[in-house]
Amino acid sequence: MPTPNPTEATSNVRIRSLEPLVPPARLCALLPLDEAARQTVVAGRHAVEAVLAGADPRLMVVVGPCSIHDPDAARDYATRLHGLAQRVGDRLLVIMRVYFEKPRTTVGWKGLINDPHLDDSFDVATGLRMARSLLIEIDGMGLPTATEFLEPITPQYIADTIVLGAIGARTTESPTHRQMASGLSMPVGFKNSTDGSLQAAIDAMIAARTPHSFLGIDDSGGIAVVSTAGNPWGMLMLRGGRSGSNYSPQVMSEARALMEKAGLPPRIVVDCSHANSGKDPTRQSLVWRDVLEQRAAGDRSIVGLMLESNIHSGSQPVQADRSKLAYGVSVTDACIGWEETERLIVEAHARLA
Residue 272: CB atoms within 10 Å: 30
Assess if residue 19 is contained within a domain.
no
Q: How many domains does the chain have?
A: 1
Strands 234-238 and 268-271: parallel
**Tally of CB atoms within 10 A around 221:** 17
In one letter, which amino acid is 188?
V
Q: Is residue 268 part of a domain?
A: yes
DSSP string of 46-60, one letter each residue: HHHHHHHHTSS-PEE
Residue-wise pLDDT tens digits, 248-297: 999 999 999 999 999 999 999 999 999 999 999 999 999 999 999 999 99
pLDDT number for residue 5: 80
For residue 225, the surrounding DSSP H or E stretch is strand 223-227
- The confidence score (pLDDT) of residue 104 equals 64
CA–chain centroid gap for 311, Å, is 19
| Selection from 218, 37, 16, 283 nearest residue 141 by Cα | 37
pLDDT tens, position by position, 42-64: 999 999 999 999 999 999 999 99
- What was the pLDDT predicted at 105? 59
**Backbone φ, ψ for residue 15 (5° rounding):** -90, 125
* 18 within some domain: no
202: domain CATH number is 3.20.20.70
Does the residue 189 lie in any domain?
A: yes
Nearest to 40 by CA among 9, 72, 86, 2: 86
- Residue 158 gets the label, from left (phi > 0), alpha (psi -120 to 50) or beta, of alpha
CA 66/CA 329 separation, integer angstroms: 10
Range of the domain at 237: 24-351
Decide if 267 contacts 209 (C-beta within 8 A): no
Q: What is the DSSP letter of 335?
A: B
The string of DSSP letters for 244-280 reads B---SHHHHHHHHHHHHHTT----EEEESSGGGGTT-
In a domain? residue 12: no
Q: Are 236 and 255 in contact (CB under 8 A)?
A: yes
User: Has residue 6 been placed in a domain?
Assistant: no
Count the helices and strands in the chain (H runs, E runs). Answer: 10, 10
Asked whether residue 4 is assigned to any structural domain, the reply reads no
- List the chain residues with pLDDT less than 50: none
10 found inside a domain: no
Instruction: Determine the pLDDT at residue 106.
Output: 60
SS (H, E, C) 281-321: HHHHHHHHHHHHHHHHCCCCCEEEEEEEECCCCEECCCCCC
Q: What is the DSSP letter of 216?
A: E
Q: Give residue 230's region: left, alpha or beta (phi > 0; psi -120 to 50).
A: left
